[in-house]
Homo-oligomer: A and B are copies of this chain.
Amino acid sequence: MNRPALEAAPAAGGRTGTVSLRTLSEHLGLSMASISRVLNGSPAAQAIPKATQTRILEAAREFNYRPNQLARSLRSGQSTSVGVLIPEISEGYSAAVLAGIEETLSSAGYAIMMITHHHRAEVLERSERQFAERAVDAVIAVDTALPLFGPIPTVTVSCPDPHPYVTNIVLDNARAAQMALEHLHGLGHRRIAVIKGQSFSSETEVRWRAIEASAASVGLRFLPERVAQMEEDLPTSEPGYRATGRLLHQGGDFSAIVAFNDMSAIGAIHALLDAGRSVPEDVSVVGFDDIALASIHRPTLTTVRQPLHHMGVLAAQAVLETLNAPPESRASARQIMVAPELVVRSSTGRWTGAESESV
């Protein structure tokens, strides 16, 4: 059995079946080689007369010829596809980065092979295999402690522990933490609590150390009872809600919370409200990321913005750059830092002018 996976739609003239280079070759009385050269605008095609080129291009259009990428890739060793590894396709974080990646790669003609791993080790290992079998040209891993991928170009987003030969797009966590801490310190807060990320999240430790350092720089130190770590692996606000519950049980003596991200900040707000504290009057909450929810939610959320979409674009661009460079110059790993931005929100004024104020 050997039916083609995809037949070309019937073209003008009612022809049918797959149109291949051979079809055009027979129709035009030219060799497949010449046709291929013209269609790809290869340098060798410059030697072919304009008239012939035109004939070829017109025939291709008339027959609705579509080059078979499978065959092309097999021969050329380039699949023009990129593997994307991502924890899940949830609200906010992943989705925003993914959107940036997709837009950039798609418009450069690359296909995306996406795998969501849900933090499961077995899927991570399987993914390495799948990427290899599909011969992706490069891999982008988002928020993932990635296993060593063979010698193909790899770019990570928010993976703080880069292997050599891996380009890494990261938020400048030091500045981000400083913004959060200075903001709260400037509002007069001295008793500040922290919600740490889950242990599986690749940014948890970096951000926590940055927050500690920033606190120290304004003369503060975190008491153990003012620190709680999220545990549940849910892309909702529940882990933050629970962690805040623990903070309250551990004494609850704080006037502000620095949450790991916006989702947990919202969980924190709900927990505080449910516990009878008002936000932001009794307790101020600061998040990270600035997901769409941050501006929609009431009370609105002050947060340290991470340019997520842009980080996706940067990752994709890094991949494209590497792939377009000659192999020998692909050596060094780079670290690309993106700048955070403090977004201070108040609950009033919506699409009526200045909804938020950036500092």
A interface with B by C-beta (< 8 Å) = 2-9, 66-71, 73-74, 76-79, 88-92, 95, 98-99, 102-103, 106, 111-116, 129-137, 148, 150-152, 236-238, 241-242, 266, 270, 274, 292-293, 296-298, 327, 350-352
Contacts and interface: CB of A to CB of B under 8 A. Distances in A.
Contact of A8 (B113, B132, B134): B132
Nearest to A99: B89
A70 B66 contact: no
A221 to B, nearest CB: 32
B91 A116 contact: no
A7 B148 CA distance: 13
Which of A6, A77, A91 gathers most chain B CB within 10 Å?
A6
Contact of A266 (B102, B131, B296): B296
29 contacts: A2-B77, A4-B135, A5-B73, A5-B135, A5-B136, A6-B135, A6-B137, A66-B129, A66-B132, A68-B74, A69-B133, A70-B134, A70-B135, A74-B74, A89-B89, A89-B99, A90-B95, A91-B92, A91-B292, A91-B293, A95-B95, A112-B114, A114-B114, A236-B296, A237-B296, A270-B298, A274-B350, A296-B297, A297-B298
Contacts of A68: 74, 133, 135
A150 B298 contact: no
A5 B102 contact: no
Contacts of A7: 150-151
A332 B253 CA distance: 66
A296 to B, nearest CB: 6
A17 to B, nearest CB: 11
B114 A3 contact: no
A6 B132 contact: yes
A137 to B, nearest CB: 6
Given A89-B89, A238-B351, 18 more contacts: A2-B77, A3-B327, A5-B137, A6-B136, A67-B133, A70-B70, A70-B134, A89-B98, A90-B95, A90-B292, A91-B91, A91-B95, A111-B134, A113-B113, A236-B296, A237-B296, A242-B351, A297-B298
A131 B6 CA distance: 9
A273 to B, nearest CB: 8
A5 B135 CA distance: 6
Contacts of A242: 351
B77 A74 contact: no
A305 B116 CA distance: 25
Contacts of A292: 90-91, 236
Nearest to A111: B113
A133 B74 contact: no
Contacts of A351: 238, 241-242
A350 B270 CA distance: 8
Contact of A70 (B8, B73, B116, B270): B73
Contacts of A8: 132, 150
B66 A133 contact: yes
A77 B298 contact: no
Contact of A102 (B78, B114, B236): B114
